[in-house]
Structure 1
Amino acid sequence: MAPKYADNFYEPLTEDVEDLLGRFQQKDSIRFDDFSAIWRDMRFSDVFLGIFGMGEMRKFCKVAMITAAKYFLPPYCFQIRVGGLYLIYAFYHTQLVTPPVQIRLALRDWDYVQKFLQDSMGCGHLDVVYIYRKLVSSKAFHYTAIPHLLTFQKPKRPQKQKVCSEMLARATAVKELLSEDYLEEVTNIQNRYEKMKQDLEEVRHQATMTHIQFTSRLKGTLTEFVTWQQNTFHQTNNEDKEKPIDEEDSRSRATLLASIKKKSYGKREDHRSKSRRHRQEVVQSSSSGPEQEHEGADLNPGRPLSLRARTWKTLGKNTEQSELAPWLLSAPDHEGVPLRQKWQGRYKQ
């Protein structure tokens, strides 16, 4: 059967893309030559093979473009975003449909793309800017208002895609404070402040606006925070990858759910309506004999007796099962019991 792709993403394709970008991240490089070598080694262009029908092929190409564009935008780090841009370029030039499927670039993402290009130009990564301009010149981008196509058959609750934590961009503001230029500037300001305090004898001992050895204490605190952030990040990744499953916890959870369901169903049966309970008891009494009627009457003393039970009680008859025919209302005391006459057909005039 033909594969049924999701509205925006396809999980097996996402796993392969993350494998490709993971290898590119291990290279610790953002050169296009390294990315193309990994692409050829994995033979990633074969993802478009084996799909029959141009409609199904175009649908898969849209899914591939959306999946690649996801890694080109935040919150991923700079290297993964570069890999996402290279992946868009590779998908666009290896797809097997004509005209080629374009990449939807929403208006809200335009600022992120421009800042990405400015950072690439500032760091001298000209191959990144070249690949982007090649896509623009090929008219590969489709500038839209929203990232996905708006249709009337969208699910009410769209599927949430899991974000690979190893590819996320961590906060670098703390690391920027550890630069030698910044610490040297703080040291110069501290020395100048102390010198001004010594020149003013009146406020030498009264004003203490800064800490002693502020630069060394700041460097130690920042180093400790960066170490804690790295340890916490790797520990979280290891816990997500290798999370043991305790059989006892699963069994206790299953037992707890079963007890909750049993209690809920029991309460549901107790709160039946009076009409339903009466109907059920009437059906049971009609299918049973007079003995079961009296037993039911003894069990429910507040309920009035039926007409037949009151008649038997008034006549003083025994409520045990009688040998008389059920259709005979009265019978003589002798043993001979008249038989029921058969119907002779039409009535005589």
Structure 2
Amino acid sequence: MPKTTPSYTAPFYDPLTEDAEALLGRFQQGDSIRVERFAALWREVRFHEIFSTIPSMSEEKKFCRVAMATAVKYFLPPYCYQVRVGGLYLMYAVYYTQRAVPPLRLRLALRDWDDVQHFLRDSIANGHLDALYVYRKLVCARAFEYTAMPHSLAFQRSKRTKGQKVCAGMLARATAAKELLSDDYLEEIANIHNHYHKMKNELVEVRLQAGMTHADFDSRLKTPLNAFLTWQRKTFNGADDTDEKEDEPTEEEACRGRAALLASIKKRSYGPVGAKSPDPCQEVQAESSGWEPTKAERPLSLRARTWNALGKNPEKSTRQAAGILSATDKERLRRRKSVLRDKQ
């Protein structure tokens, strides 16, 4: 019997990823990022029951690794801050509800260390003490395992993982353009612009030759930035609908696919019974090359090269040997007949 592939061998499990995205999506829709709200959603959807249907401990450990990898994925970029906080709470909940003995730890790659520290600095600056408390508690419990790779590598397993679709609604938006529209930044640009024109007017030689800025640069900067922010808002809001429309085939494409499938089935069914289908590989090779070596162009064998080196004809020698063997057989037959005559 063919060997069956064990369950939960991939870094991620699609049904679990969908449930985690649904939970974090509901957490993102709210205005609060307090841990009490996430705990209420956790209990409401009964997310802790994901570990209750696994019979063996070995499968339990494999599923725990997948669940922890899924939670860590939402704790790291490119997701927005609110989703990353939800990923941190999900890491905490999965770690303390697992049934593996001894408990498995969360894998955190060294390449993600700067992103984690930046997340902690943002939490301190914005006063989100719940996220800091949950992270510090995981660190004190030694729940993190700092590794070189985010996923464990094993023998006869590909290093490349299957590409995972990223939910566009959870991604962090680019904030650089929004920061340019702040009053402090525009005021600073206006001060630099006025200082440049003041210094330029003081220099008589440069006043009529150099002109490196535009008039009213700070006010002209607002128009393209507002247009970009409007485009960004429309793009993020319509990303989910666009992905769903691209994944679903149109009705015309589906009809064409069914017609082509039926035509291929009829062609195989009503074809000649004894006809042998040509090998596509041979056809491709023949068409691509367009040349077939003849008998004269084929390289000589070792036996033929040896006879040529000795200056003899192999075909003539073969005929002579066949004649000798046939003559010997006739002589033996004649002797047997004479012996039988003498006995009689």
The TM-score normalised by the length of structure 2 is 0.70
**Structure-2 residue corresponding to 1:161:** 164
Q: Measure the CA separation in 2 of the matches of 1:126 and 1:211.
A: 46
Query: Which letter maps to 2:254?
Result: S
Q: Measure the CA separation in 1 of the matches of 2:117 and 2:46.
A: 31
**Structure-2 residue corresponding to 1:182:** 185
| 1:11 to 2:29 alignment | no
**Structure-1 residue corresponding to 2:254:** 250
**Structure-2 residue corresponding to 1:172:** 175
| 1:236 to 2:207 alignment | no
Query: Which letter maps to 1:117?
Result: L
Q: Measure the CA separation in 1 of the matches of 2:185 and 2:281.
A: 74
1:95 to 95, 98, 121: 98
1:130 to 130, 133, 141: 133
Query: Which letter maps to 1:148?
Result: H
Q: Measure the CA separation in 1 of the matches of 2:284 and 2:188.
A: 80
**Structure-2 residue corresponding to 1:327:** none
**Structure-2 residue corresponding to 1:151:** 154
The TM-score normalised by the length of structure 1 is 0.69
Query: Which letter maps to 1:128?
Result: A
Query: Which letter maps to 1:143?
Result: Y
Equivalent pair of 2:11/2:161 in contact (CA under 8 Å): no
Query: Which letter maps to 2:13?
Result: Y
Cα offset for 1:271?
5.2
Query: Which letter maps to 2:252?
Result: E
Q: Measure the CA separation in 2 of the matches of 1:183 and 1:108.
A: 36
1:24 to 23, 27, 39: 27
Equivalent pair of 2:75/2:85 in contact (CA under 8 Å): yes
Q: Measure the CA separation in 2 of the matches of 1:200 and 1:36.
A: 67
Cα offset for 1:163?
1.4
Count of residue correspondences:
271
**Range moving further from structure 2, 117-126 or 79-88:** 117-126
Q: Measure the CA separation in 2 of the matches of 1:3 and 1:153.
A: 14
Query: Which letter maps to 1:18?
Result: E
Question: Which of structures 1 and 2 has the larger relative contact order (alpha carbons within 8 angstroms, sep 6+)?
Answer: 2
**Structure-1 residue corresponding to 2:79:** 76
From the superposition, tell whether residues 180 and 260 of structure 1 become closer, same or farther in structure 2 (CA, over 3 Å). farther
Cα offset for 1:41?
1.5
Equivalent residues in 2 for 1:248-287 (5 A)? 248-252=252-256, 268=280
The secondary structure found in structure 2 opposite 1:81 is helix
Equivalent residues in 2 for 1:308-327 (5 A)? none
Cα offset for 1:270?
9.6
Cα offset for 1:72?
1.0
Cα offset for 1:84?
0.8
From the superposition, tell whether residues 157 and 187 of structure 1 become closer, same or farther in structure 2 (CA, over 3 Å). closer
Q: Measure the CA separation in 1 of the matches of 2:36 and 2:89.
A: 10
Q: Measure the CA separation in 2 of the matches of 1:193 and 1:155.
A: 59
The secondary structure found in structure 2 opposite 1:245 is coil
Equivalent pair of 2:9/2:62 in contact (CA under 8 Å): no
Cα offset for 1:266?
7.1
**Structure-2 residue corresponding to 1:290:** none
Cα offset for 1:259?
9.1
Equivalent pair of 2:7/2:59 in contact (CA under 8 Å): no
| 1:33 to 2:36 alignment | yes
2:122 to 96, 119, 143: 119
The secondary structure found in structure 2 opposite 1:232 is helix
Query: Which letter maps to 2:113?
Result: W
Q: Which runs of 5+ in 1 are unaligned?
A: 274-349
Q: Which runs of 5+ in 2 are unaligned?
A: 268-276, 286-344
Q: Measure the CA separation in 1 of the matches of 2:12 and 2:173.
A: 25
**Range moving further from structure 2, 215-224 or 239-248:** 239-248
Cα offset for 1:250?
3.3
**Range moving further from structure 2, 46-55 or 249-258:** 249-258
- Structure whose CA Rg is larger: 1
Cα offset for 1:170?
2.2
| 1:216 to 2:236 alignment | no
1:226 to 204, 222, 229: 229
Cα offset for 1:246?
2.0
Query: Which letter maps to 2:187?
Result: E
Q: Measure the CA separation in 1 of the matches of 2:207 and 2:174.
A: 40
Query: Which letter maps to 1:26?
Result: Q
From the superposition, tell whether residues 247 and 25 of structure 1 become closer, same or farther in structure 2 (CA, over 3 Å). same
For 1:113-142, what per-residue CA distance to the aligned partner results, in whole angstroms no more than 9, with x for missing partners?
Answer: 122212222222222111111001111111
Query: Which letter maps to 1:246?
Result: T
Query: Which letter maps to 1:245?
Result: P
Q: Measure the CA separation in 2 of the matches of 1:172 and 1:104.
A: 29
Query: % of aligned pairs identical?
Result: 56
The secondary structure found in structure 2 opposite 1:71 is helix
Q: Measure the CA separation in 1 of the matches of 2:11 and 2:76.
A: 16
The secondary structure found in structure 1 opposite 2:72 is helix
